[in-house]
Amino acid sequence: MAFLNEEELEGKIRELSGEILKVRSEIETKEKEREGLRNELNKVREELSAVINQLNGKRAELRSIRDEIAKLRKNRDDVVNTLKQLKERRTELLNRIKELIGRVRKYRELMRMINDLVGGKPVDKEKLKELIDKLEFEHEISPTDPEKEWEFFRTIQQLEKELNAAEVLSRIKEYISRDSQEIEKMRKERMELGQQMKDLYNNALANIKSQIQELKKKRESIVNEIVQLKGRRDSLKARRDELKKAILSKSAEIKELRARLRELNDELNKYQLLLAAARKSKSLAVKRQEEARIKEELRKRAEEGLQKLMRGERVSLNDLLGLEFDEDNEK
């Protein structure tokens, strides 16, 4: 570094002081900007936390709705299975009713055939038994007559035929009555099952379907809210990361400025020391010049005193030695 005079040193100090003020101002501005970024970051973090809490709440709500839908679907499947079972039972009853109706129809056809065999007249089984018993009793107590004997046997044979027919008809009527009662019972059960199926379909199943549809709408609404919250969350995360990077960048800039400030302060201190040294050096030079001037003046006065003394003039010892000036200088 070339030697600088006092004026140049003062100019350099003024330049450095101005630059220091400028750097300090920049640091203050950067710190304010960083503080603003930090405040914004805190707000973003708070909002992000609130959004995440909302998102978790909506996810829990969505899980609850899905569980409800699953339960309702199970209930719906149970109702559908019950309807299937009831339908199968009604089909079984219908097939059984058709089977019994066919059998009753055959019984009635058989009754017509038997009635045709006995001449189509009504048959009273009890009366036929009484008549056969009476004829047999009369036959035992009546005298034997071959012609009447033969007629008796033909009559008895006819009556026994009618009695057998009457017994068969009685059993057939019992079968018809039994099957008809069973048919009526099954028809009643089938109607009750039909009403039960109708009630299940119109009430239980319809209600379950309605609840499922409502929950699906609610689920769709919550899914849309979750999508929006995710978008907001991602946006806040991106902004948070931007702010963190910006804060790091500001901190790095502040660090560089502070390093520059330290350099400037060190340089300023150096020039201030140089200026102080220059001023001290100047002061010493002036002092030396003053001392030289005094010595020269004393020398001249001493020479003048010596010349006066040589001329025989009166001279004081102080003039001769220059002590008076020296004493004044010491004072």
CATH number at residue 144: 1.10.287
- Does 314 reside within a domain? no
* 69-83, 197-211, 224-238, 270-284, range with the lowest pLDDT: 270-284
Give residue 126's pLDDT: 61
Q: Is residue 25 assigned to a domain?
A: yes
Say how many domains are in the chain: 1
Question: Is residue 311 one of the residues assigned to a domain?
Answer: no
Structural domain contains residue 192: yes
Task: Tell me the per-residue pLDDT of 59-106, one tens digit each, with 9 for 90 and over.
Answer: 999 999 999 999 999 999 999 999 999 999 999 999 999 999 998 998
Whole-model pTM: value is: 0.58
Residue 60 has a pLDDT of 96
SS3 for the chain is: CCCCCHHHHHHHHHHHHHHHHHHHHHHHHHHHHHHHHHHHHHHHHHHHHHHHHHHHHHHHHHHHHHHHHHHHHHHHHHHHHHHHHHHHHHHHHHHHHHHHHHHHHHHHHHHHHHHHHCCCCCCCHHHHHHHHHHHHHHHHHCCCCHHHHHHHHHHHHHHHHHHHHHHHHHHHHHHHHHHHHHHHHHHHHHHHHHHHHHHHHHHHHHHHHHHHHHHHHHHHHHHHHHHHHHHHHHHHHHHHHHHHHHHHHHHHHHHHHHHHHHHHHHHHHHHHHHHHHHHHHHHHHHHHHHHHHHHHHHHHHHHHHHHHHHCCCCCCHHHHHCHHHHHHHHC
What average pLDDT does the chain have?
A: 82
For the stretch 109-119, pLDDT in tens is 877 876 766 65
- The answer to whether residue 120 scores a pLDDT higher than 90 is no
Residue 160 has pLDDT above 60, yes or no: no
The verdict on residue 319 lying in a domain is no
The answer to whether residue 320 sits within a structural domain is no
Instruction: Examine residue 173 and state whether it is found in any structural domain, yes or no.
Output: yes
Give the range of the structural domain holding residue 153, as residue numbers without chain letter. 6-267
Flag whether 297 is in a domain: no
